[in-house]
């Protein structure tokens, strides 16, 4: 397993629609392992392949937060939202590609998602709470969408400028 570098916004790869997974290869298994290691190390609760520069429809997540509860690392390929609740929920979201910036985003409170697992089988599950927010945030990444795209243009612009400054400082260091 190896940690991968997480891209920081703005980056054209974070605005690009990722390609479906067509074959489960060892390379893809290694990518999933590396992404889980990168996510836990960050720390984060989710990570999508485009965030590490791989334009494939693959995401990892683990929203178990309770101390003493077993972790639940999940790998979802070609995920599709098949049902959304009418009820909406607002959660203060963050993003590993937009460090230290948080904002309220409203999304469906519950979603049903279908995906291809690393076992080659098709899976389906209903998510609620933080899991529902996280899986929608990660699927957005696969479609080239960031949580700041839900904010008012001025707020989005302010965050983007902060990230440009951060990237300039990192490049100089
Ligand atoms: O996609 C990402 O950039 C990961 C992101 C996922 C996410 C967070 C909040 C709402 C929706 C989706 C993160 O994991 S940001 C870090 C974070 O939220 C966190 C970090 C440590 C403990 C708990 C949460
Ligand atoms: Zn994110």
- Does the reported pTM lie above 0.75? yes
Q: pLDDT-derived band of residue 65, with 50, 70 and 90 as boundaries?
A: confident
pLDDT at 151: 98
For the CA of 136, the nearest ligand: 1
DSSP for residue 68 = T
Query: Mean pLDDT score of the chain, rounded to an integer?
Result: 98
DSSP for residue 166 = H
- What is the length of the chain? 173
Q: Which residues surround ligand 2, an ion (CB under 5 A)?
A: 95
Q: pLDDT-derived band of residue 165, with 50, 70 and 90 as boundaries?
A: very high
Does residue 43 have a cis peptide bond before it, meaning omega lies within 30 degrees of 0? Answer: yes
pLDDT digits (tens, 9 = 90+) for 97-156: 999 999 999 999 999 999 999 999 999 999 999 999 999 999 999 999 999 999 999 999
How far away, in angstroms, is 95 Cα from ligand 1 center?
Answer: 6
- Best residue for ligand 1 mutational test, from 43, 46, 67, 99 (most atoms within 8 Å of Cβ): 46
CA 103, 160, 128 angle in degrees (round to 5)?
30
The rounded percent of the chain whose pLDDT value lies above 90 is: 97
Q: pLDDT-derived band of residue 57, with 50, 70 and 90 as boundaries?
A: very high
Residues classed as catalytic: 138
Q: Which residue ranges form the domains of the chain, and what is each CATH number?
A: 12-172 (3.90.45.10)
Return the closest-CA partner of residue 45 out of 24, 17, 65: 65
- Best residue for ligand 1 mutational test, from 95, 104, 146 (most atoms within 8 Å of Cβ): 95
Provide DSSP, 24-60. Answer: --HHHHHHHHHHHHHHHHTT-SEEEGGGGT--BSEEE
Between CA 141 and CA 90 the distance in angstroms is 19
pLDDT digits (tens, 9 = 90+) for 75-97: 999 999 999 999 999 999 999 99
How far away, in angstroms, is 115 Cα from ligand 2 center?
Answer: 19
């Amino acid at each position: 397993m190896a940690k991968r570098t997480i891209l920081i916004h703005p980056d054209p790869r974070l605005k690009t629609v990722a390609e479906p997974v067509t074959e489960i290869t060892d390379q893809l298994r290694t990518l999933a392992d590396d992404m889980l290691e990168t996510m836990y190390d960050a720390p984060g609760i989710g990570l999508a392949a485009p965030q590490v520069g791989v334009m494939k429809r693959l995401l990892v997540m683990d929203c178990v937060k309770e101390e003493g509860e077993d972790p639940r690392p999940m790998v979802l390929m070609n995920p599709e939202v098949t049902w959304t609740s009418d009820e909406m929920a607002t959660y203060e979201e963050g993003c590993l590609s937009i460090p230290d910036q948080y904002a309220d985003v409203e999304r469906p409170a519950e979603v049903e998602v279908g995906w291809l697992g690393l076992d080659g089988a098709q899976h389906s599950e209903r998510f609620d709470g933080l899991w529902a927010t996280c899986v929608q945030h990660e699927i957005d990444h696969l479609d080239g969408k960031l949580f700041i795209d839900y904010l008012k243009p001025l707020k989005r612009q302010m965050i983007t400028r902060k990230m440009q400054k951060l990237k300039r400082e990192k490049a100089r260091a």
